[in-house]
Amino acid sequence: MSPTGIAVAVLQVVLSIASAPFLVGMMRLIRARLEGRVGAPIRQPWRDLRKLFRKERMVSTNTSIVFSLAPLVLLASAALVAGIVPFLSTTSALDQVGDLFAVVYLLLLGTVFLSLAGLDAGTAFGGMGSSREMTIAAIAEPTLLVAIFALSVSTGSSNLGAIVADTLAHPSRAASPASMLAFSALAVVTIAETGRIPVDNPSTHLELTMIHEAMILEYSGPDLALVELAAHLRLVVFLGLLANLFFPWGIATTAQPLHLVAAAGAVAVKLIVLAAVIAVIEVFIAKVRLFRVPELLAASFVLAFLAVTVSFFLV
Amino acid sequence: MLKLLRKIVQTGRVTGTVPLDAGPRPSLLLNAAHPLRGSVQIRQVDAGSCNGCETEFAAAFGPVYDVERFGVRLVASPRHADALVVTGPVTRNMAVPLVKTFEATPGPKLVIALGDCARDCGVFAGGYGVAGSVADVVPVDVEIPGCPPTPDDIVASLRRVVGR
């Protein structure tokens, strides 16, 4: 736990939280432009969050401590993961304690708490949202784990920093069959876990089709702001994971300020490209029926499983 | 997919401009320090409307009028809302749900009465199923007249509420 390592981890958390709403705003703007609309400015999600923090906090009398705790757990777990995942440098302070298993289960912790909160108020739509979220999480989480595990096989370590550093040292591994299979599996999981089309529609107002929105229907004011911010942050974390595990170039291997600035620029470019690709794809496809989602996720699990198998035979 | 791409490129931007002074002037203009300035999330409540106002209101959120560019968004829950847009005369069956929706909305909040029926019951005034206008049930901050109001009126009024 060196002081520079801690500084890098704190910097990663601060930068991720600050940039996450802008990334979401950019995705909304791209979608609006492709739909022939003008769209809200990129800073609109930050404006919405600032307003929500200044609003009244309403809690139903039927809720328990879980309802009040969930937004904090959700944001804290996402922020911790943002500190662990090698975004800027492979020498993060939390890197020694946080390997891929810690990352996956920290993300799952947030998902579980939000689902419990959806059930807590006892509303019909909250329960439906929780049930759907759990259906998806039950198939998506193992895929996430297995896909990253495929990368750790060739590295010989489940440490995310070590995986990234190893890919940097052996660039040909980024184009190996195992890596490509794992990438496609992880891409599907990213879309499912961040609630994008075709699994969930982030801009839906139709109660019968929503998953993430259904669970947070009872939240208001600052609580809602925390949940929204955490959802934005999770998008950055998933996209950052996807970007840096498979295209690590640009990441700093030291903690020198100049290298960190360059790494921040590199990861920003990667995030913007990935987010833009997702936003463009969302315009072209429709949300699939809920009963078809497990098929999509099962296919991605097969890809992840193949990636692990292949990584043992072909290095 | 190529067909859709060609359509996107050919169509370009369809959103028109709506002048701020279009339509009727509402009584309310949020000042610069108001918490809701720049971002207003709306929950729409149909208190007994004929759906004419809903059609025009939905058009205001379509690509042509695109009120979302000013920071106005529709939400699925009164808990997420800053403003309730109420349409139609308040029928006896909807009076209690309307009050409950108003109570479930966290403050600071606004109530926008959309259309002539919401303002003074319109042609339904005195009907046996009508409990009264929106103002008789919950405090109204902004009124948008018209039967139904045009999307231009709706966008101009909402722009003044948001302050953009």
- For residue A276, give every residue at least 6 positions away whose Cβ sits within 8 Å of its Cβ, in sequence order, or none: A26, A27, A30
What CATH topology corresponds to B36-162? Answer: Rossmann fold (3.40.50)
- pLDDT tens sequence across B9-30: 888 888 877 766 665 555 556 6
pLDDT digits (tens, 9 = 90+) for A93-114: 666 777 888 889 999 999 999 9
Asked if the Cβ–Cβ distance from A38 to B76 is below 8 Å, we say: no
A192 vs A82: CA distance, rounded Å = 19
CB contact under 8 A, A40 and B69: yes
Is residue B22 within 8 angstroms of chain A, CB to CB?
no
State which H helix or E strand residue B73 sits in. Answer: strand B72-74
Nearest to A303 by CA among A169, A178, A120, A176: A178
B86, two tokens? 């109420």
Residues of B with CB below 8 A from A128's CB?
none
A56 with B39: Cβ contact below 8 A: no
pLDDT at A119: 93
| CB–CB contact A36 B4 (8 Å) | no
pLDDT at A93: 61
Say whether B66 and A54 touch across the interface (CB within 8 A). no
Matching residue, tokens 């994008």: A196
* Contact: B8, A40; criterion CB under 8 Å: no
Q: Quick one: pLDDT at residue A137?
A: 92
- Chain A with chain B: Cβ pairs closer than 8 A: 86
Per-residue pLDDT of chain A (315 residues; tens, 9 = 90+): 677 778 888 999 999 999 999 999 999 999 999 988 998 999 999 999 999 999 999 998 888 999 999 999 999 999 999 988 888 888 766 667 778 888 899 999 999 999 999 999 888 888 999 999 999 999 999 999 999 888 888 888 888 888 888 888 888 888 888 899 999 999 999 999 898 888 888 777 777 778 888 899 999 999 999 999 999 999 999 999 999 999 988 888 877 888 889 999 999 999 999 999 999 999 998 888 888 899 999 999 999 999 999 988 875
CA gap B17, A233 in Å, rounded = 34
Residue A269 is predicted with a pLDDT of 95
Least CB–CB distance from A207: residue in B14, B35, B76: B76
Taking CA atoms, A213 is separated from A168, A237, A272, A310, B77, in Å, by 39, 20, 24, 38, 9
Buried b (16+ CB within 10 A) or exposed e, B106-126: beebbbbbbbbbbbbbbebee
CB contact at 8 A, B110 and B162: no
Q: Is B58 on the interface with A (CB under 8 A)?
A: no
The ranges assigned to domains in chain B are 36-162
The more confidently predicted of residues B124 and A210 is B124
Q: Domain residues of chain A, as ranges?
A: 3-313
Chain A residues with beta carbon closer than 8 angstroms to that of B5: 284
* φ and ψ of A95, to 5 deg: -65, -35
Q: What CA–CA distance (Å, rounded) separates A123 from A101?
A: 33
The contacts of residue A121 (CB under 8 Å, 6+ apart) are A60, A62, A63, A67, A218
**Interchain CB distance below 8 Å, A38 and B15:** yes
Task: Decide: residue A76, CB within 10 A, 0-12 exposed, 13-18 middle, 19+ buried.
Answer: middle
Nearest CB among B15, B79, B108 relative to A219 is that of B79
> Using one digit for the tens of pLDDT, what is the confidence trace for A190-205?
999 898 888 888 777 7
Q: How many CA atoms lie within 13 A of B75 on its CB side?
A: 25
Q: ipTM score of the complex?
A: 0.90
